[in-house]
Structure 1
Amino acid sequence: MRRYPTNTTALFYRDRARQAESDAATATLDNVRGRWLRAAKAWDEMASRAEKTAERRSTNEEAKHLAEMDASEDD
C-alpha cells in the first residue's frame, strides 16, 4: 500500500471538497445538491484533521529529536 505525505492527503481532500461543491452547484435535484454539500463538508473536515495531525506529528517528532540530542549531550 502506497503512503502519501499528509500534506498531499490534505490537498487531495480539499480538491475533493471543491469538486463536490462544483457538483452541488450543477445539481438539479435538491436531495442530490444536499448530498454533494454534505460530502464537501465531510471532505473539508477530513482535510482539517489531516492538517492538524501533521502539525502535531511534526511537533512531537521535533520534541523527540531535541530530547534525544539533550540525552546524547549528557553522556
Structure 2
Amino acid sequence: MALSYEFLIERAEQSASEAAGALLDNVRDRALRAEKAWRTMATDLREVAEGRERARLERLAAAVATT
C-alpha cells in the first residue's frame, strides 16, 4: 500500500486528538510520539515527491536544451 501525504497527516491529527484526551501520562506521551512520527513521515514523503518533480523538470529542461 502506498502511503499518501493526506493519510499520514490524518493519522497525525488522530494521534494529536488522542493525546489531548488522554488521562494517563504514558498514554499521552505515546500518542505524542506517534503524532511526531506520522508528521515526520508526511514531511519526508512530501520532500521525496518534490525532489522527484524537480528531477523530472530538470530532465525535461535538459531534453529541450539538446534539441
Which residue identity is paired with 2:40? E
The runs of at least 4 consecutive aligned structure 1 residues that moved more than 2 Å come to none
The equivalent residue for 2:11 is 16
Cα distance between partner residues in 2 of 1:3 and 1:25: 29
- 62-71 vs 32-41, which deviates more? 62-71
Which residue among 51, 61, 64 is the counterpart of 1:56? 51
Q: Rg bigger for which structure?
A: 1
Distance (whole Å) between structure 2 residues aligned to residue 64 and residue 3 of structure 1: 25
Q: How many residues in Structure 1 have an aligned counterpart in Structure 2?
A: 67
Matches of 1:3 and 1:63 in 2, distance apart?
A: 25
TM-score, normalised relative to structure 1: 0.80
**2:63 aligned to which of 52, 64, 68:** 68
Unaligned runs of 5+ in 1: none
| Equivalent residue letter for 2:36 | K
